[in-house]
């Protein structure tokens, strides 16, 4: 819903994310340390009602979605210490700068939070990998300056 404005297009979200992962697999696997095999499995499940092992998870899926769609993502959990804010790597800010806000409720549900038009939120802590990876790989930190 947050990406294509239609819940029925969730498969298109997975296809786009899998394409991004394929293009940047070295960064996600070797630099960020993500289990790319698990990500590929999650992004390859197109059946409604996939078992829990194929659900999106944080931080991997949130960072990958942020990169794929060039959109900041605020992932809130019930425990605020594990809430994180994800900014796209290696992309300049696009026209959409308001973050997608996701709230993990328990271990089973992710809720898209929609704010009224001119409302802002205090975003959680930035993904601790963001600044070091941007600097290591020479990526722009333009996104970061919008939220500091």
First to last CA, the chain: 27
142 belongs to a structural domain: yes
Token code pair at residue 103:
């709230």
Question: Given this model, what pLDDT does residue 8 score?
Answer: 67
104 belongs to a structural domain: yes
Q: What is the 3-state secondary structure (H, E, C) of the chain?
A: CCCCCCHHHHHHHHHHHHHHHHHCHHHHHHHCCCCHHHHHHHHHCCCCCCCHHHCCCCCHHHHHHHHHHCCCEEEECCCHHHCEEECCCCCCCCCCCCCEEEEEECCCEEEEECCCCCCCCCCCCECCCHHHHHHHHCCCCHHHHHHC
Q: Which domain holds residue 45?
A: 7-147
The model's pTM = 0.88
Question: Given this model, what pLDDT does residue 60 score?
Answer: 94
Q: How many domains does the chain have?
A: 1
Question: Given this model, what pLDDT does residue 4 score?
Answer: 60
Residues 7 and 118: beta-carbon distance below 8 Å: no
Question: Given this model, what pLDDT does residue 122 score?
Answer: 85
1 belongs to a structural domain: no
Instruction: Convert the pLDDT of each residue in 22-55 to its tens digit.
Output: 999 999 999 999 999 999 999 999 887 788 788 8
- The CATH number covering residue 53 comes to 3.90.70
Token code pair at residue 107:
């271990």
112 belongs to a structural domain: yes
Instruction: Convert the pLDDT of each residue in 70-123 to its tens digit.
Output: 999 999 988 767 899 999 998 888 777 789 898 887 666 677 788 776 677 788
Question: Given this model, what pLDDT does residue 2 score?
Answer: 62
Question: Given this model, what pLDDT does residue 28 score?
Answer: 97
B/e letters for 42-59, b = 16+ CB within 10 Å, e = fewer, are bbeeeeeeeeeebebbbb
Mean pLDDT, the chain, as a whole number?
A: 87
Question: Given this model, what pLDDT does residue 132 score?
Answer: 96
Question: Given this model, what pLDDT does residue 5 score?
Answer: 61
């Amino acid at each position: 819903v947050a990406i294509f404005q239609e819940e029925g297009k969730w498969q298109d979200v997975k296809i786009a994310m899998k394409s991004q992962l394929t293009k940047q697999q070295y960064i996600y696997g070797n630099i960020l340390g993500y289990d790319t095999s698990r990500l590929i499995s999650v992004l390859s499940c197109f059946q409604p009602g996939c078992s829990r092992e194929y659900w999106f998870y944080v931080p991997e899926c949130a960072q990958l979605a942020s990169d794929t769609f060039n959109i900041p993502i605020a992932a809130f959990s019930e425990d605020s210490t594990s809430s994180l804010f994800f900014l796209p790597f290696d992309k300049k800010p696009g026209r959409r700068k308001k973050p997608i806000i996701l709230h993990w409720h328990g271990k089973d549900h992710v809720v898209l939070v929609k704010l009224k038009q001119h409302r802002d939120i205090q975003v959680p802590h930035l993904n601790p990998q963001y600044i070091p990876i941007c600097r290591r790989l020479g990526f722009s930190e333009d996104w970061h300056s919008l939220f500091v």
